[in-house]
Amino acid sequence: MPQPPREKWQSDFPRWFDWVIEAAEVYDYGRYPVKGMGVWMPYGFQIRRRVLDILRDILDSTGHEEVLFPLLIPEHLLRKESEHIRGFEGEVYWVTHGGLEELDVKLALRPTSETSITYMESFWIKSYRQLPKKYYQVVSVFRYETKATRPMIRLREVTTFKEAHTVHDSFEDAERQVIEAINAYREFFDRLGIPYIISRRPDWDKFAGALYTIAFDTVMPDGRALQIGTVHLLGQNFTRAFDFKIQLADESLDYPWQTSYGVSDRVIATLISLHGDDRGLVLPPEVAPIQVVIVPIPPGSDEDRLKVLEEAKRLGEDLAKAGVRVKVDDREDERPGAKFYYWETKGVPLRIEVGLKEAKEGFVTIARRDTLEKVKAPRSGAVEAVRKLLGEVKASLEERAREYLKERIMRTTSIDDAREWVESRRGVAELPWCGREECGRRLEEDLNARALGTPWPPEPVKGARCPVCGRDAVTWLRIAKTY
Ligand code: P5A
Ligand code: ZN
């Protein structure tokens, strides 16, 4: 099958990404005069909305309730859980003034909402009978990131932060929730055709205040891993800090158990990156603002022109009636070639060309954005053909991305091979590991890369040794260059 090239996409990925979000009018990052903050433009906003629709759909149908908490968190709340504030201290933006007055209590722009949500939960939840409780919100959070900021990938205002927070009457139920959350994210990423690996983060890299963190990572076209979602078992750390107790079934009082999990703008960055090519975006039909664009090919005479235009409009109406998001590009000041190029950059999954031949002979020519392949279908079966092709585009994008990720993960017992793999940016290396922090950190140093953690669910290793200390390995350690 023909495929548009993915040369710049691969060899010059960061620049390709900056180019594509601007050229497709998704996100204006470079021009807003605050570092780490960008603007969702109309076309990008529609993609973002559709991604969020899928997420809300999944969360709502699993008993999550949407809420909206204030942006500002008073200093004493944010400081309650000591590990948490230690982890975030260097990243908090503080509001210190109201007008000309200095505030008595400094207010943080939330870097995440465990503290403010736990505080309010302590008033709302009194009994195990109210549990489990699952809240979520989609908000901006602010983190004064010191690593290189990047559009959508490392922001200082994360504008599409979906955070879920849950409360449980036992450790076991909280762990069950961790699995439910992982499954919810699996479904979410699967629907977007985003491939991932799931790892339990090493203890030295878990979320500040959590007992443990399970992370979803994917590999970007330049071979760097990107964390695209995390699920944390918070245990009783926050409920204890807020003296939040509930009545249990046996009438005793105890601190409830919590989890939290989040995804961000990174999901949209990944969607764009993993499906795109040198010509621009390639959008999965489910999130494409426009699924089919119809481009009339105007013939010479005015009378024929009208015929073609009318035929294009009729086809547009038929598709719209069938629930397809369709646009007829009837601009008169642009040539068809320029229109093709424009909609290719924007990643519209299908393009239908309607010329005089098509109008007269009763067929349509449909071009797929992913493969650039052209197929002909009878006009009478156009709606069916479009439906079928949209399904095929979705499936083949998923398949291509899945294959791509598979090729980016290498298992080896040799530190040298792993270093070479990571260094040449082929992706993630998996090495046998004894499970001791000392050896894990040593491997990070040796490879000059980050440990993503161990496979989840756990994959025991038999017969291999930790390449650092020579003890029996108990699991694999994944290591990669990261964003
Ligand atoms: C879980 C939700 C939390 O903040 N509290 C509420 C928990 N976890 S997290 O891992 O710190 O963040 C969740 C996900 O957000 C993405 N992310 C970012 N995206 C863009 N720019 C940033 N600066 C940024 N920081 C975190 C990651 O995908 C992370 O998994
Ligand atoms: Zn070891």
The pLDDT score that the predictor gives to residue 1 is 64
Please tell me the predicted confidence (pLDDT) of residue 301. Answer: 86
Instruction: Give yes or no for a contact between 351 and 330, defined as CB atoms under 8 angstroms apart.
Output: no
Cβ-proximal residues to 19 (8 Å cutoff; 6+ apart), any chain: none
Instruction: Give the residues of the chain that fall short of pLDDT 50.
Output: none
DSSP 223: S
Sign of the alpha-carbon dihedral angle for 59, 62, 68, 72: negative
Please report, in angstroms and rounded to a whole number, the separation of the first and last CA atoms in the chain. 33
Cα–Cα distance between 227 and 132 in angstroms, integer?
Answer: 27
pLDDT score for 62: 98
Paired sense of beta strands 65-66 and 133-142, if any: parallel
Å from CA of 477 to ligand 2 middle: 11
- Ligand 1 centroid distance, CA of 154 (Å): 10
Q: What does each C-alpha distance from 247 to 122, 165, 258, 473 come to in angstroms?
A: 12, 20, 15, 43
Kindly report the protein residue whose alpha carbon is nearest to atom 25 of ligand 1. 154
Give the number of other Cβ atoms within 10 Å of residue 100's Cβ: 5
> What pLDDT does residue 302 have?
85
Residue 154, strand partner residues: 150
pLDDT tens track for 141-193: 999 999 999 999 999 999 999 999 999 999 999 999 999 999 999 999 999 99
Pocket test for ligand 1, best of 161, 167, 265 (most atoms within 8 A of CB): 161
Give yes or no for residue 266 CB within 6 A of ligand 1. Answer: yes
Ligand 1 atom at minimal distance to the Cα of residue 156: 23
Distance CA 414, CA 374 (A): 47
- Select from 325, 329, 355 the least CA-distant residue to 340: 329
Rounded-to-integer distance, Cα 55 and Cα 42, Å: 20
What pLDDT is stored for residue 15 in this prediction? 97
Supply the pTM of this predicted model.
0.97
**Could you list which residues have their CB under 5 Å from ion ligand 2?**
434, 439, 466, 468-469
Report CA(212)–ligand 2 centroid distance (Å): 21
Instruction: Give the H or E element holding residue 95.
Output: strand 94-98
Find tokens 């650039």 and name the residue. Answer: 372
- Burial class from Cβ neighbours inside 10 Å (0-12, 13-18, 19+) for residue 383 reads middle
